[in-house]
């Protein structure tokens, strides 16, 4: 700014007022000259100084549990793209599905002056001391929006209707004549696990099909857990179809079957959850429940920016409808 002032033959104060679009007695022609010189000199405001003077950083923290999971990777891409169009940067942290890492990241990022936080919670956060978790989330010094999770806390969140998604998947298989339907679920404390299991139970009851716990298998949402469950699932010859709480666990089942030369696509109808990119390139493209990550990213980001810009604490619950994507992995019983 000193160099610009020297070149334009004006005071440093005049340059500061002009470049910050403040009221000044500088003539319009001189203003234009100052801005032209600033552009020629590739002038950029000091972001730290702007942050201190305006008490804003134009940065948002984004914490996800596993960036290698294609579902979370899509959310990250959609959020960073959207926020960029609004002039905000994104500081990304992978919590490695650890509450300890989430807590540390929240404290660290807030100390760095982020304007708000978008948190995709880990599974661990729901098994920790819930009084502590409540205090952490509700008393955060910055605006917070949760994504892909339901909570009764006084915190804004954007989530999908997981009960409805599992109902759609289970009913689709019943419509094709299947009644011995296996369900691969997450543990009770896992994000959205209970809701998806509830949807499966609801539809069995609605269709007067007795719930058989021998057809319910527990995984951890990873492909490895689906791989471990595959032998128990495939040895049960009564099972004719599978609903999985996510695509990755189903990929694990398919991988084990292929390694053991079992023609799984001929033996079982299958429906996944998440509509990950790989579902379309399987030997038999996978029917799955799609969750509109672009809408989730947009709704959550807009809500957070509103909280930041209005300086108001808003508690809002946004639920997005899932969509059944029909492909070729379901056949008539």
68 three-class SS? coil
- Quote the CA–CA distance of 178 and 255 in Å, as a whole number: 23
Beta strands at 323-325 and 287-290: parallel, antiparallel or unpaired: antiparallel
218 three-class SS? strand
Per the model's pLDDT, the better-predicted residue between 25 and 117 turns out to be: 117
Percent of the residues in the chain that have a pLDDT greater than 70, as a whole number: 97
**Which contiguous run of DSSP H or E holds residue 64?**
strand 59-64
Query: With 60 as the cut, is the pLDDT of residue 47 above it?
Result: no
Query: With 80 as the cut, is the pLDDT of residue 163 above it?
Result: yes
Determine the average pLDDT of the residues in 279-289: 94
- Quote the CA–CA distance of 160 and 233 in Å, as a whole number: 28
On whether the CB atoms of residues 269 and 284 are closer than 8 A, the answer is no
Instruction: Give the lowest-confidence range in 135-139, 226-230, 239-243, 297-301.
Output: 135-139
Query: With 60 as the cut, is the pLDDT of residue 53 above it?
Result: no
CA dihedral 261, 264, 267, 269 (to 10 degrees): 180
What CA–CA distances, in Å, run from 138 to 39, 277, 310, 314, 319? 44, 35, 18, 11, 20
On whether the CB atoms of residues 293 and 320 are closer than 8 A, the answer is no
Percent of the residues in the chain that have a pLDDT greater than 90, as a whole number: 73
Query: With 70 as the cut, is the pLDDT of residue 220 above it?
Result: yes
- Quote the CA–CA distance of 79 and 148 in Å, as a whole number: 13
Determine the average pLDDT of the residues in 162-188: 97
Query: With 70 as the cut, is the pLDDT of residue 157 above it?
Result: yes
pLDDT at 318: 96
């Amino acid at each position: 700014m000193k160099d610009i002032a020297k070149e334009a033959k004006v005071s440093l104060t005049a340059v500061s007022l002009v470049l910050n679009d403040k009221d000044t007695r500088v003539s319009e022609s001189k203003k234009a000259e100052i801005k032209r010189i600033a552009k020629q000199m590739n002038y950029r405001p000091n972001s730290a100084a702007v942050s201190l003077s305006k008490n804003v950083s134009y940065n948002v923290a984004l914490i996800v549990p596993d960036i290698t999971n294609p579902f979370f990777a899509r959310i990250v891409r959609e959020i960073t793209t959207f926020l960029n169009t609004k002039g905000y940067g994104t500081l990304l942290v992978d919590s490695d599905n650890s509450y300890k890492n989430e807590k540390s990241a929240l404290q660290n990022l807030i100390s760095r002056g982020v304007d708000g936080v978008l948190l995709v919670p880990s599974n661990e956060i729901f098994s920790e001391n819930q009084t502590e978790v409540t205090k952490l989330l509700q008393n955060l010094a910055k605006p917070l929006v949760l994504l892909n999770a339901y909570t009764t806390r006084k915190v804004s969140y954007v989530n999908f209707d997981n009960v409805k998604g599992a109902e759609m998947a289970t009913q689709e298989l019943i419509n094709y004549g299947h009644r011995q339907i296996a369900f691969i679920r997450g543990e009770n404390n896992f994000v959205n696990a209970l809701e998806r299991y509830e949807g499966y139970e609801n539809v069995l009851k609605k269709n007067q099909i007795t719930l058989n716990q021998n057809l319910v298998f527990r995984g951890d949402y990873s492909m490895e857990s689906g791989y471990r469950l595959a032998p128990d699932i495939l040895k049960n010859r009564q099972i004719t179809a599978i609903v999985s709480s996510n695509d990755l666990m189903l990929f694990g089942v398919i991988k084990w079957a292929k390694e053991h030369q079992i023609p799984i696509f001929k033996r079982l109808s299958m429906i996944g959850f998440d509509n990950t990119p790989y579902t379309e390139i399987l030997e038999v493209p996978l029917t799955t429940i799609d969750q509109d990550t672009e809408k989730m990213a947009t709704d959550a980001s807009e809500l957070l920016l509103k909280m930041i810009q209005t300086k108001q604490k808003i508690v809002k619950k946004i639920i997005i409808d899932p969509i059944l994507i029909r492909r070729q992995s379901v056949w008539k019983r």
